[in-house]
Amino acid sequence: MIKDTVKQALQDLFPDPEPVAEEVVAPAAEGADTDEDKKKPVKKKEEPRVNGVLERDHAEHGYDIDVQLDPGELLAAVMIIDKAGFFLESITGVDWIKEDQLEAVYDFSRYDFDTCRVVIRTRTPRSAPKIPTISKIYPGAGWHERETHDFFGIKFDGHPHLVPLLLPEDADFHPLLKDFKP
Amino acid sequence: MSGPIHIQPGETFTLNVGPQHPATHGVLRVKMEMDGEYIVKAETVLGYIHRMHELMGENRTYPQVLPNLSRLDYLGALGYTHGHVLAVERAAGIEVPERAEYIRAITVELNRVASHLFWFGAFVMDLGGFTPLMYAIQDREHILDMLEAVTGSRLTYCYYRFGGLYNDIDDDFIAAAKAFIPRMRKSLKKYDALVTGNIIFEKRLKDIGPISAEMCRKYGATGPVARGAGIDFDVRKNEPYSVYPEFDFDIPVYHECDSLARYKVRMEEMEQSLRIVEQGLEKLPDGPIMPAKKPKLIKPPAGDYYQAVETARGSFGIRIVSDGGKNAYRFKLRSPTYSNMSLFDEACEGMMIMDALAMMGSLDLVIPEIDR
């Protein structure tokens, strides 16, 4: 199973076993949340997620492995993914304005019947969002990163051509930021 | 600005293909640096019909976004709306009656045939043959009539609902679909005789426009583009959803990596879609088309959900990040042609311009879907 090998390889990026052990608690809490909050709108914001590797139920979430890491570790993780023969599905962002952070989300999947979708997330401060580019590893990331830069203003360090792709060429606004006013 | 243009040997000039150009089938622009007839470098410029569907997805409730999805790809819209309803059903945990899923599969496959038919006509027209387009549109018209009768619209369908369908199919639809299958099979033979073996057609496509499997992987190409490069990948088989595991169908794969391989993949896919429609009509169970119990207000629990479906153009992905509200916190659309087109800049380097345009046709672009 490719899932286990990739999970193991990604796990090795986090040498300290402590945050991983802590991490196992978080999905359980969230899973319980899913079942229970049919009636009461549970709006208690849990602690921000600790970096680490999580295994997700494909039927429930649509992906198998969910990794959160620091931008510095991104390239190492993507290289593992590349070596395992994954293709790049998409890159996007999420604006977590309450935590004052921007998240970049990378989806990878495989051309294989041994299905496995890996989601890599990395967070960067909203004031100076900066993430290294992965377009050296996956040239297809070029467009996705330009799009994410358009919508969220995340600077992809080392991108060869980070100019607006979908927005007008002189656009200086980022419409998917939660504080964007048209 | 009159007077002849003198090009010195080794000097390149810039050629703008588009944004208004018949070969791009929409408002797409490719800035090409040309050395005579050869492309030295190409840069695709997007965004001419960018409408920010993702922001609309955040500003509206889930049902309000439903019609948006069919405005992405106007040729195979049902596949996209299918992705959206499946994603929301996954997030909100809504059960779908079996009959509804069967009807969804039948209509999606009919829509796939319609989409491929239009692509076939337009593609051959790009290469200089006008007649096949007329035949293709005639066949496509039958599908559009059938779908119009049940969905209420010809192209921009809003037929699926969370948990089921807007209305049930009737006997007329079933009879029309049953009559259409043999008609289409005959037409496919006709197209083969008319186009596939044609020497001019073959010379324009064979060994032209190579897209290797490795390139597909690096750029995330899916759908017929990947299957023409020898990659056995179809979301319906690899990551089964809906009732597709119930059907017996094959995934056509060609290893030549050229434009002709992508053409052949699509032509065979039509036959496979017909097989699915045939089996779907045969197995169609009775029952309701909407679940008995359905939340009045759709509020998926907080979380991050992803759903991939196989549309006519490849793997369409939809990500819903929910914060428990009635609007999505983040609504991401992963469009297949966006990834398929992103490899064009690299793939067309060094090609002659007419070969590059033939290759562009073989990618089956729908621009509103790239720009979203």
- For residue A165, the distance in angstroms to the closest alpha carbon of chain B comes to 6
Query: Quick check: A141 and A158 in contact, CB under 8 A?
Result: no
- Cβ–Cβ gap B220/A88 under 8 Å: yes
Tell me the C-alpha distance between A94 and B102, whole Å. Answer: 35
Two structure tokens written together for B201: 């057609």
- Cβ–Cβ gap B306/A30 under 8 Å: no
| Domain membership of residue A122 as a residue range | 2-23+48-157
Q: Identity (one letter) of the amino acid at B18?
A: G
- Cβ–Cβ gap B220/A87 under 8 Å: yes
In this prediction, residue B257 carries a pLDDT of 86
* Mutant choice from B72, B219, B298, B310 vs A, greatest count of A C-beta within 10 A: B219
The dihedral region occupied by A53, where left means phi > 0, alpha psi between -120 and 50, and beta the remainder, is: beta
Tell me the C-alpha distance between B321 and B318, whole Å. Answer: 10
Is B88 inside a domain boundary? yes
Residue B32, beta-bridge partner list: B15, B42
The answer to whether residue A2 scores a pLDDT higher than 80 is: no
Two structure tokens written together for A172: 């200086």
Is B1 inside a domain boundary? no
Helices (H), chain A: 2-11, 17-36, 58-61, 74-83, 141-152
| B83 HSE (CA, 13 A, CB side) | 33
Name which of B47, B321, B372 is nearest A94 (Cβ-Cβ). B321
Two structure tokens written together for A177: 């930021």
- For residue A15, the distance in angstroms to the closest alpha carbon of chain B comes to 26
User: Which residue is associated with the tokens 């990395």?
Assistant: A122
In this prediction, residue B246 carries a pLDDT of 87
Greatest pairwise CA separation for chain A in angstroms: 50
Determine contact: A166 vs chain B, CB below 8 A: yes
Two structure tokens written together for B33: 């640096």
Mean pLDDT of all residues in chain A? Answer: 78
Determine contact: A61 vs chain B, CB below 8 A: yes
3-class state of residue A176 by DSSP: coil
In this prediction, residue A28 carries a pLDDT of 44
* 3-class DSSP string for B13-32: EEEEECCEEHHHCEECEEEE
User: Which residues on chain B are in Cβ contact (under 8 Å) with A62?
Assistant: 87, 90, 305-308
- Cβ–Cβ gap B232/A167 under 8 Å: no
Beta-carbon count within 10 A of A23 CB: 18
pLDDT in tens, B126-167: 888 888 889 999 999 999 998 898 988 888 888 888 888 888
- For residue A83, the distance in angstroms to the closest alpha carbon of chain B comes to 11
| Counted domains in chain A | 1
Is A77 inside a domain boundary? yes
Is A37 inside a domain boundary? no
Tell which wins on pLDDT, B62 or A23.
B62
- For residue A144, the distance in angstroms to the closest alpha carbon of chain B comes to 9
- For residue B2, the distance in angstroms to the closest alpha carbon of chain A comes to 30
pLDDT in tens, A125-141: 888 888 999 888 888 88
What is the residue-wise DSSP string for B163-198? TEESS---HHHHHHHHHHHHHHHHHHHHHIIIIIT-
| B173 HSE (CA, 13 A, CB side) | 20
What is the residue-wise DSSP string for A97-141? TTTTEEEEEEEEEESSSS---EEEEEEEESSS-EEE--TTT-TTH
In this prediction, residue B116 carries a pLDDT of 92
CB pairs under 8 A between A and B: 121
Q: What is the strand order of the sheet A52-55 is part of? A: A52-55, A65-69, A118-125, A101-110, A86-96
ipTM over 0.90: no
Two structure tokens written together for B325: 């509200």
Determine contact: A32 vs chain B, CB below 8 A: no
Sign, Cα dihedral of B267, B28, A165, B37: positive
- B99-102, long-range: CB < 8 A, 24+ apart: B99/B168, B99/B284, B99/B285, B99/B286, B99/B287, B99/B288, B99/B289, B100/B163, B100/B164, B100/B165, B100/B288, B100/B289, B100/B290, B101/B242, B101/B243, B102/B243, B102/B280, B102/B283, B102/B284, B102/B285
- For residue A75, the distance in angstroms to the closest alpha carbon of chain B comes to 15
| Domain membership of residue B300 as a residue range | 13-371
Beta-carbon count within 10 A of B240 CB: 14
Least confident of A30-34, A74-78, B141-145, B282-286: A30-34
Cis peptide before B182 (omega within 30 of 0): no
Two structure tokens written together for B370: 């790239």
Tell me the C-alpha distance between A44 and A28, whole Å. Answer: 15
- For residue B215, the distance in angstroms to the closest alpha carbon of chain A comes to 9
pLDDT in tens, B289-321: 888 887 778 888 888 889 889 998 888 999 999
In this prediction, residue A36 carries a pLDDT of 45
pLDDT in tens, A5-60: 777 777 777 776 554 444 444 444 444 444 444 444 444 455 667 777 787 887 77
User: Which residues on chain A are in Cβ contact (under 8 Å) with B303?
Assistant: 30, 34, 61
Tell me the C-alpha distance between A68 and A52, whole Å. Answer: 5
The answer to whether residue B262 scores a pLDDT higher than 50 is: yes
If you average pLDDT over residues B50-78, what whole number do you get? 88
Name which of A89, A138, A166 is nearest B334 (Cβ-Cβ). A89
Name which of B47, B93, B317 is nearest A107 (Cβ-Cβ). B317
| B114 HSE (CA, 13 A, CB side) | 27
Tell which wins on pLDDT, B125 or B9.
B125
Mean pLDDT of all residues in chain B? Answer: 87
| A88 HSE (CA, 13 A, CB side) | 30
In this prediction, residue B199 carries a pLDDT of 87
Q: How confident is the model at residue B2 (pLDDT cuts 50, 70, 90)?
A: low
In this prediction, residue A48 carries a pLDDT of 67
CATH value at residue A80 = 3.30.460.80
| Counted domains in chain B | 1
Q: What percent of chain B has pLDDT over 70?
A: 97
Is B253 inside a domain boundary? yes
Spatial CA neighbour of B14 closest among B363, B353, B367, B346: B353
- Cβ–Cβ gap B306/A117 under 8 Å: yes
In this prediction, residue A22 carries a pLDDT of 44
Q: Identity (one letter) of the amino acid at A132?
A: P
User: Which residues on chain B are in Cβ contact (under 8 Å) with A151?
Assistant: 54
Determine contact: A158 vs chain B, CB below 8 A: no
Least confident of A38-47, A109-118, A171-180, B138-147: A38-47
Compute CA distances A127 → A99, B119, B342, whole Å. Answer: 12, 46, 30
- Cβ–Cβ gap B302/A33 under 8 Å: yes
User: Which residues on chain B are in Cβ contact (under 8 Å) with A134?
Assistant: none
User: Which residues on chain A are in Cβ contact (under 8 Å) with B89?
Assistant: none
- For residue B337, the distance in angstroms to the closest alpha carbon of chain A comes to 12
Is B8 inside a domain boundary? no
Is B264 inside a domain boundary? yes
Is A34 inside a domain boundary? no
Is A179 inside a domain boundary? no
Determine contact: A157 vs chain B, CB below 8 A: no
* Mutant choice from A42, A89, A112, A113 vs B, greatest count of B C-beta within 10 A: A89
- Cβ–Cβ gap A111/B231 under 8 Å: yes
CATH value at residue B41 = 1.10.645.10
